[in-house]
Amino acid sequence: MEIQFERRIHFTKMTGSGNDFIIIDNRDQLIDADNCRGLVSSVCRRKLSVGADGLILIENDPEVDFKWRFFNADGGEAEMCGNGARCAARFAYLKGIASKPSMAFRTIAGIIEAEIKNERVKIRMTPPHSLKLDFFLEAGGTKPFCLQFINTGVPHVVHFVEDDAALDSADVFNLGRTLRYHSHFQPAGTNVNFARVHAPHSISVRTYERGVEDETLACGTGSIAVALVASAKGLAASPVDVKTRSGETLTIYFEKSSNHDPVDFREVYLEGDAKVVYEAELWDETLIQ
Ligand SMILES: N[C@@H](CCC[C@H](N)C(=O)O)C(=O)O
């Protein structure tokens, strides 16, 4: 006998290079996006529910193909998410919400343009800002950390390490958490990236994500941040392949204006895979605890 529940919410689970998301077509406003913190944090909990790094609501927009509301796993809303944006664009195309493989959608950070090429999605980002190079902060270690900062839709701090061993052994959880809550970045906080530059077109990264409050397997805006600050320091050039913790590679394309001081980045793109894992229903016994 089928169990009867008051509420069933259809969702699609997707992964963008290991950053995983629950995506819901909310064009009929079944979920109140302004009051869904409890629902989001409850369904994003791993082992107790679906589990995800974030949840995305797809809603109507009068000017572009759709708008989204993006929520981190803790239920807080974020301005932008690069991997989530690639998943949302592919979802919209697969569901016919966007009729063509080229589309545009609204985020808090601005309008994102996307191009679907089968399982790969390339998105055009909003202009990055607030670049700050080579500043030092204490993070509980013996010596201050040399850091770089840029906002690529959301805030990112970057620390470059010397070699592969230093990246593998980096205490991403504890150092990431300390810097994420450092008074320097309040009140918004920041995402924290540890990066190793192999060559001008090749970087590896590990990211502690704000709102997930842990290391994730990939972060799109973080990978962009790493590529751009590396370029600003003369260490990288477009296109940059950024190897994420999942082993998947994200490709970052950008133009750097040499006429500007400070460095000005234009035409920033992020490309990588966006895969459907499964589709299912949320039932109300798991929705709110
Ligand atoms: N994983 C995302 C970034 C999501 C938002 C971030 N956690 C924040 O709160 O700033 C990406 O792929 O960019």
CA atoms within 13 A on the CB side of 73: 19
Q: Lowest mean pLDDT: which of 33-37, 131-135, 239-243, 256-260?
A: 256-260
pLDDT band at 289 (very low <50, low <70, confident <90, very high): very low
3-state secondary structure of 34: helix
Taking CA atoms only, the protein residue closest to ligand 1 atom 2 is 81
Q: Which two tokens stand for residue 224?
A: 């962009």
Residue 113 phi/psi, 5° resolution? -100, 140
- Whole-number Å distance, alpha carbon 273 to ligand 1 midpoint, is 16
Q: Has residue 20 got a pLDDT over 70?
A: yes
> Which burial class, exposed, middle or buried, applies to 237 when counting CB atoms under 10 A from its CB (0-12, 13-18, 19+)?
middle
Determine whether 146 is an active site residue: no
Nearest Cα to 220, choosing from 64, 133, 135, 107?
107
The tokens 């895969």 sit on which residue? 275
Q: In this predicted structure, what is the pLDDT of residue 283?
A: 84
Q: Has residue 1 got a pLDDT over 70?
A: no
Q: Has residue 211 got a pLDDT over 80?
A: yes
pLDDT digits (tens, 9 = 90+) for 237-279: 999 999 999 999 999 999 987 666 667 899 999 999 999 999 9
pLDDT digits (tens, 9 = 90+) for 83-102: 999 999 999 999 999 999 99
Q: In this predicted structure, what is the pLDDT of residue 143?
A: 85
Same-domain status, 109 and 149:
no
Residue 34's domain is classified under what CATH number? Answer: 3.10.310.10
Q: In this predicted structure, what is the pLDDT of residue 288?
A: 55
The mean pLDDT value for 59-79 works out to 98
Same-domain status, 142 and 261:
yes
Q: Is residue 268 part of a domain?
A: yes
The mean pLDDT value for 199-224 works out to 98
How far apart are the C-alpha atoms of 156 and 158, rounded to whole Å?
Answer: 7
Q: Hey, what amino acid is at 76? A: G
Q: Are 93 and 276 spatial neighbours (Cβ–Cβ below 8 Å)?
A: no
Same-domain status, 188 and 248:
yes
Residue 26 annotated in ligand binding: no
With a pLDDT cut of 90, the percent of the chain lying above it is 89
Residue 82 annotated in ligand binding: yes
CA atoms within 13 A on the CB side of 30: 15
The mean pLDDT value for 232-236 works out to 96
How far apart are the C-alpha atoms of 271 and 24, rounded to whole Å?
Answer: 23
Same-domain status, 113 and 182:
no
Q: Are 132 and 149 spatial neighbours (Cβ–Cβ below 8 Å)?
A: yes
Same-domain status, 98 and 211:
no
Same-domain status, 56 and 168:
no
The domain total for the chain is: 2
Domain of 74, in residue numbers: 9-119+275-282
∠ Cα 57 58 64 (to 5°): 145
18 close to ligand 1 (CB < 6 Angstrom) = no
The mean pLDDT value for 205-232 works out to 98
ipTM over 0.95 threshold: yes
Q: In this predicted structure, what is the pLDDT of residue 129?
A: 95
List, in sequence order, every residue forming a beta bridge with 70; answer none if it has no partner.
56
Q: Is residue 68 part of a domain?
A: yes
Q: Is residue 52 part of a domain?
A: yes
Q: Has residue 53 got a pLDDT over 80?
A: yes
User: Could you identify the atom of ligand 1 that is nearest to the CA of residue 190?
Assistant: 10
Strands 129-137 and 8-16, bridge-based pairing: unpaired
Same-domain status, 107 and 135:
no
Catalytic pick among 36, 44, 81, 87: 81
pTM: 0.95
pLDDT band at 121 (very low <50, low <70, confident <90, very high): very high
Q: In this predicted structure, what is the pLDDT of residue 189?
A: 98
Q: In this predicted structure, what is the pLDDT of residue 42?
A: 94
Determine whether 219 is an active site residue: yes
Q: Is residue 4 part of a domain?
A: no
Residue 124 annotated in ligand binding: no
Q: In this predicted structure, what is the pLDDT of residue 2?
A: 54
The mean pLDDT value for 191-195 works out to 98
Reported residue count of the chain is 289
Q: In this predicted structure, what is the pLDDT of residue 232?
A: 95
The mean pLDDT value for 209-236 works out to 97
Q: In this predicted structure, what is the pLDDT of residue 256?
A: 85
The mean pLDDT value for 105-130 works out to 97
Strands 240-243 and 54-59, bridge-based pairing: unpaired
User: Could you identify the atom of ligand 1 that is nearest to the CA of residue 212?
Assistant: 7
Higher pLDDT, 175 or 7: 175
